[in-house]
Copies of this chain bind each other. A is one copy, B any other.
């Protein structure tokens, strides 16, 4: 979806396309609203490309130095608001190049052995890999928060539900650990997607590679990619890394929607099992005592847009022939919006997980009620009036017994730690490479 361009439809039925077609077309075809997020990526790519051009003898050492200094200045100017992206230049690449022209006459040579086709693919991959790591890290942090609470409440009995009917006693720790397992799988998926996204397309040029003697593998190394592309046609046209990233997000978002549903339910007066952290709820103007679980509801609702972003990319890609087609531009916004949107959701989920407080008396009351009314509870346990001791009998590994929960939580904590350390290693390698390009 486009960013706010409402002026153009302010009087939508009176207009009759009053603008000149070419102006309307500029607005229609510009990707600047999204590209604003790619400034840093675009400059990084250009810095690496410039070094490769120098190694190939295409830029002199002086030209390379001027371009490097210039690019760093352009980034600083844009970040500080001293320069702005201009819509008539259509995309981030032309904007950066034009701004660079103010710093050095060599700016024009930077586009040698490169095309907007491999350049935009590069920027999107730099963006995707960074946010996939952020997602993996956020999922590990969510798992950590859930597991810490799970360890704390491994013994706290509560009803377990099937069909939203109380079925068998479990413990709060057991339930929280279930959500942690999902978070860990989501982190793994993000890392798998990272591995496939972390491939440099630079050097594919328009579609066929180039006749300049550049080495795409050197550029890839400078940007801390795992490798360079295997096929230039594929490199400029494929966006399955975007579809995969958004499918990881959609699954993660569906997990969060279930977590949000449970928090909404169990913090409602009818259950009253949990209190949500106050900063993540809102009051009602009419009813001051009421606390609404807004963060939990938003988590639940956000799965819709994550599914939408995935379909947007898949639908855009469907039926496209090789190689670059302008349709690909429409896959940008869902990726650039959808990934940070998901990371933000996971972080809010972590804040919720850290802040929930159980209300044991409500849990116990629900269990006792149940034990009295549901002979089933009696059948499965002689200790009918101590239903909070029932979970202890579910001794299957992975089952509800507190000792089993504690064991499983410890194992999950170890996996979370390993995953987080893998994420950190990738991030540090990338940060080091980017620092080397960005700093004098």
The reply to whether A258 and B319 contact each other, CB–CB distance below 8 Å, is yes
The reply to whether B340 and A163 contact each other, CB–CB distance below 8 Å, is no
In whole angstroms, how far apart are the Cα atoms of A366 and B272 in the complex? Answer: 13
Neighbouring B residues of A76 by C-beta, 8 Å? none
The reply to whether A307 and B298 contact each other, CB–CB distance below 8 Å, is no
A411, CB-defined interface residue at 8 Å: yes
Q: Classify the secondary structure of A's interface with B.
A: helix
Neighbouring B residues of A240 by C-beta, 8 Å? 182, 185, 251, 254-255
A388, CB-defined interface residue at 8 Å: no
Q: Interface residue count for A (Cβ, 8 Å)?
A: 188
The reply to whether B323 and A315 contact each other, CB–CB distance below 8 Å, is no
In whole angstroms, how far apart are the Cα atoms of A205 and B287 in the complex? Answer: 13
In whole angstroms, how far apart are the Cα atoms of A230 and B207 in the complex? Answer: 44
The reply to whether B254 and A175 contact each other, CB–CB distance below 8 Å, is no
The reply to whether A305 and B1 contact each other, CB–CB distance below 8 Å, is yes
The reply to whether A4 and B3 contact each other, CB–CB distance below 8 Å, is yes
Neighbouring B residues of A116 by C-beta, 8 Å? 285
Residues of A160-198 at the interface with B, using a CB-CB cut-off of 8 Å, are 160-170, 174-175, 177-178, 181-182, 185, 188-189, 192, 196
The reply to whether B178 and A234 contact each other, CB–CB distance below 8 Å, is yes
The reply to whether A330 and B304 contact each other, CB–CB distance below 8 Å, is yes
Q: Which residue in B117, B247, B399 is a CB contact (below 8 Å) of A251? A: B247
A397, CB-defined interface residue at 8 Å: yes
Neighbouring B residues of A205 by C-beta, 8 Å? 396
A sample of 7 more A-B contacts (CB under 8 A), given A163-B325, A170-B207, A175-B233, is A28-B344, A162-B323, A254-B318, A258-B317, A261-B320, A303-B318, A305-B312
